[in-house]
Chains A and B, each alone.
Chain A
Amino acid sequence: MEIKSVLNNVEDAQSATAFKDSANEPEKKSFIKKIFGQSNLGDFIFEKLTLLFAVLVFLLVILMAYEMYTNSRLSIAKFGWGFLTSSTWDPVTEVYGALPVIYGTVVSSLLALLIAVPLGLGVAVFLSEIAPGWLEKPLSFLTELLAGIPSVVYGLWGIFVLVPWLRDSIEPFLQDHFGKLPFFQGAPYGFGMLAAALILSVMVLPIISSISRDILRSVPFTLREAAYGIGATKWEVTKLVLSNARSGLLGAIMLGLGRAIGETMAVTMVIGNRPIISASLFDPSYTMASVLANEFTEATSDLYMNALIELALVLFVITIIINMFAQLLVWSMNRKWKKG
């Protein structure tokens, strides 16, 4: 069957060229080319069809922004930029200010990075520089498995394992020994900023470690060999590799940050969900994503719904900016070595 169709095509092609040669009409040929861009209809359709879908993906991102903008006009018109700086989030009196939830989002994400970055870079160094082949593959698989666990399962584990553990042992311990610090004030309920930051760090870790590992691997081996050649120890070689890869590693960290900011389910389940700004890690907090998860189906008035959609828009813009920077850093890193 296939050979037959191939032969048919060959015949088609031959007759086509024969036709062109004998007819010798340059005007007609250029006319076809003008309309289709190509002298072959099938190729034209196929290319434009794939192009259409690529345009669709392109438009999708713009459509998302547009949809959220038009559906949050009420709230944008009423609160303006004050939406971002006002600290009252009160559905009863219909006053919506996003500052506490932006605070909760940023602080929980940064705390998560504080834990996940050293660990993630450590794992990446271990995987790319130190681990022997037989250990590296299963370990990579395990970290990827960690990334594959659904967010809601992390949340479930958070509620029934992490939170009781924090409440009964970790938080009382911190309060006894460091109780004078502003970070460890208030009653240790378990649910709160600390639980959210811990669970986020576990979720962000595999992203940081796997992207950093790929970046470290893209650093050419000649660099390492040169360093070994002048007698450097393994750690000194690793330092050299790290400093050469720093822009890409920064990109990996920012991708982790983007993920932490948008993470919804696990955070919603352990953070306590109260829009307050407090320095204490024991206190409940709220993030943009968890406000959406909790209140979206309960929004009764148009203004409430608009305020929630505006919150989604803010989240969208923040993550897009972070991801753009991160992708550019990672891409420039990969390019640097491919060219050199």
Chain B
Amino acid sequence: MEKRVELNTFSFFRRKIVNAVMLSLSLLAAIITIIPLILIFYYTISKGITYLNLDFFIHMPKPVGESGGGMANAIVGTLILIGIGGAIGIPVGILTGTYLSEFGNNKFGFMVRFLTDVLSGIPSIVVGVVAYTMVVIPMRHFSALAGGIALGILMIPTITRTTEEMIRLVPQSYREAGLALGIQKWKTTLLIVLRTAWKGIATGILLGLSRAAGETAPLLFTALGNRFWSTKIFQPMASLTVYIYDYAKAPFEDWNKQAWTAALVLILIISFFSLMFRIITRSKYKV
């Protein structure tokens, strides 16, 4: 009897110790995960801040060898590119999402839902290749349009799935109330359901846009990049991400420093999007 109690206390302690060890390992994993985040932010801010001044936003890149200059064309280019992307991705995403939630409880809906999830996993560079074969080859030159189309395709899954999920959150009674008033179903969907879910859909759009702003690979051989001021969508266009790539590889210290600044500006743009995202979602849950 005595012996058995001892054994139990031993196994109890052992279980306690295993418990403590495993839980602290899990905490350790969480801490290790945060380290690269801190490092990346630390270096981007400390190295990027040196060139972060008004010149960077309003001047053009200087030729090789001359220091200074800015990336005004790249900042505008990035905004134009995600604008084109949004013009394609937002309507397709919202309407597909609406279909999936309102009419998509069938086999076809299941397939589309599955394919959007699969589409979100396709490497962005592959989308760039497709934009190249579809737009650049027929037009015979690189263009901002091709880059924008690639970004638009990349936005579709995010916006579709958020729209669908947000519309599904709208209580069924809202739809019934609309229909009970004799409002046609399409008006109920557009004016009541979509309007109720609008904030959620907007967060999806912002998420899609901010991801598109950070894409480089699909732009490398579609929008290509441009060292001059250009807002024409049928011509090559500069973007911050491609500049970061080119300047990081370049053997000039001055360019390398500017790459850090461009990275900082890019992160600021993306943070701005995600800040708006936070504000929108917060007010959604408060009301």
Q: Which residues of A contact B (CB under 8 A)?
A: 2, 6, 9-10, 12-14, 40, 42-43, 45-47, 49-54, 56-58, 60-61, 63-64, 67-68, 71, 118-123, 125-127, 129-131, 139, 142-143, 145-146, 148-157, 159-161, 202, 205-206, 209, 233-236, 238, 255, 258-259, 261-265, 269, 289, 292-293, 296-297, 308-309, 312, 315-316, 319-320, 322-324, 326-327
With contact pairs A122-B29, A150-B216 given, residues A64 and B43 touching in the complex (Cβ less than 8 Å): no
Total residues of chain B contacting the partner, CB 8 A? 92
Partner of A265, one of B91, B181, B217: B217
Chain A residues, CB < 8 A from B28: 122
Which chain A residue shows the least CB distance to B130? A64
Residues of B within 8 A of A49 (CB): 95
Count A-B pairs with CB separation below 8 Å: 275
Q: Is the CB of A322 within 8 A of B126?
A: no
Contacting pair A156 B186 (CB below 8 A): no
Given known contacts A71-B133, A296-B221, A14 and B182 CB-to-CB distance under 8 angstroms: yes
Cα separation A316 to B118 with both chains bound (whole Å): 11
Determine whether B241 belongs to the interface, using a CB cutoff of 8 Å to chain A: yes
Q: Is the CB of B220 within 8 A of A296?
A: yes
In this assembly, does B92 line the interface, its C-beta being within 8 Å of a C-beta of chain A? yes
Of the listed stretches B55-63, B105-113, B227-235, chain A binds: B105-113
User: A-facing mask of B228-262, CB < 8 A → 1, else 0?
Assistant: 00000000000001001100110000001001100
- Which of B44, B129, B248 touches A68 (beta carbons < 8 Å)? B129
A-B contact pairs, 28 of them (CB 8 A): A2-B191, A12-B182, A42-B184, A46-B190, A54-B95, A54-B100, A54-B108, A57-B92, A58-B112, A64-B130, A119-B32, A122-B26, A130-B23, A146-B37, A150-B213, A152-B248, A157-B43, A161-B39, A233-B19, A235-B18, A262-B125, A292-B125, A296-B132, A296-B220, A297-B221, A319-B122, A323-B117, A327-B118
Instruction: Give Cα distance in the complex from A40 to B188, angstroms.
Output: 13
Q: Give Cα distance in the complex from A155 to B260, angstroms.
A: 11
Shortest CB-to-CB span from B130 to chain A, Å, is 5
CB atoms of A64 and B126 under 8 A apart: yes
Interface check B65, CB cutoff 8 A = no
Residues of chain B within 8 A (CB-CB) of A56 are 92, 96
- Are B40 and A154 neighbours in the complex by a CB distance under 8 Å? yes
- Is there an interface contact between B123 and A261, defined as CB atoms closer than 8 Å? yes
Q: Is the CB of B214 within 8 A of A151?
A: yes
Contacts of A315 in B (CB 8 A): 123, 125-126
Contact present for A43 and B186 (CB under 8 Å): yes
Q: Which residues of A contact B104 (CB under 8 A)?
A: 54
**CB closest residue in chain A, given B22:** A235
Docked-complex contact B111 and A58, CB < 8 angstroms: yes
Contact B181 A152 (CB under 8 A): no
Cα–Cα, bound, A130→B127 (Å):
40
Which candidate, B68-76, B196-204, B266-274, is the interface stretch facing chain A? B266-274
Chain A residues, Cβ within 8 Å of B210: 148
B66 to chain A, nearest CB (A): 22
| Docked-complex contact A54 and B137, CB < 8 angstroms | no
Residue of B nearest to A13 (CB): B182
A264 to B248, CA, bound (A): 15
Q: Shortest beta-carbon distance, B240 to chain A, in Å?
A: 9
Bound-complex Cα distance A160 to B152 (A):
32
* B224 CB–A CB distance under 8 Å: yes
Contact residues of A: prevailing secondary structure: helix
| Contact indicator B30/A57 (Cβ below 8 Å) | no
| Known contacts A50-B99, A205-B33, A323-B117; A153/B267 CB under 8 A | yes
Complex interface: chain B residues within 8 A of A13 (CB): 182, 184
Contacts of A63 in B (CB 8 A): 130, 134
Asked if B226 is at the interface of the complex by the 8 Å CB criterion, the answer is no
Given pairs A54-B109, A157-B40, 16 additional interface contacts (CB within 8 A): A6-B183, A50-B102, A50-B103, A57-B96, A57-B112, A64-B130, A68-B130, A122-B26, A142-B33, A145-B37, A148-B214, A148-B274, A235-B22, A309-B133, A315-B123, A323-B118
Partner of B30, one of A126, A261, A320: A126
Complex: how many Å from CA A327 to CA B267?
A: 30
Give Cα distance in the complex from A319 to B122, angstroms.
6
| A10 and B182 contacting across the interface, CB-CB below 8 Å | yes
Is B276 part of the binding interface, using a Cβ–Cβ cutoff of 8 Å?
A: no
- The residues of A that contact B111 with a CB separation of less than 8 Å are 58
Q: Which residue of A lies closest to B189 (CB)?
A: A46
Complex Cα distance, B117 from A135, in Å, reads: 30
Q: Is the CB of A235 within 8 A of B23?
A: yes
- Chain B positions within 8 Å of A152 at CB level: 214, 216, 241, 244-245, 248, 263
Q: Do A42 and B115 have beta carbons less than 8 Å apart?
A: no
A259 touches B121 (CB 8 A): yes
Quick check: A54 and B112 within 8 Å, CB to CB? yes
Confirm or deny: B285 has a beta carbon within 8 angstroms of a beta carbon on chain A.
no
Determine the chain A residues whose CB is within 8 A of the CB of B170 once the complex forms: none
CB <8 Å contact, A123 and B39 = no
Using Cβ atoms and an 8 Å threshold, which residues of chain B touch A54? 95-96, 99-100, 104, 108-109, 112
| Beta-carbon nearest neighbor of B99 in chain A | A50
CA separation between A63 and B183, bound complex, in Å? 38
Instruction: Please tell me if the beta carbons of A156 and B185 are within 8 angstroms of each other in the complex.
Output: no
B226 to chain A, nearest CB (A): 14
A339 to B95 CA separation, bound complex (whole angstroms): 29
Closest to A261 in B: B123
Given contacts A50-B99, A51-B103, A54-B100, contact A156 B33 (CB under 8 A): no
Q: Quick one: closest A residue to B38, CB to CB? A: A142
Kindly state whether residue B49 has any CB partner on chain A within 8 Å: no
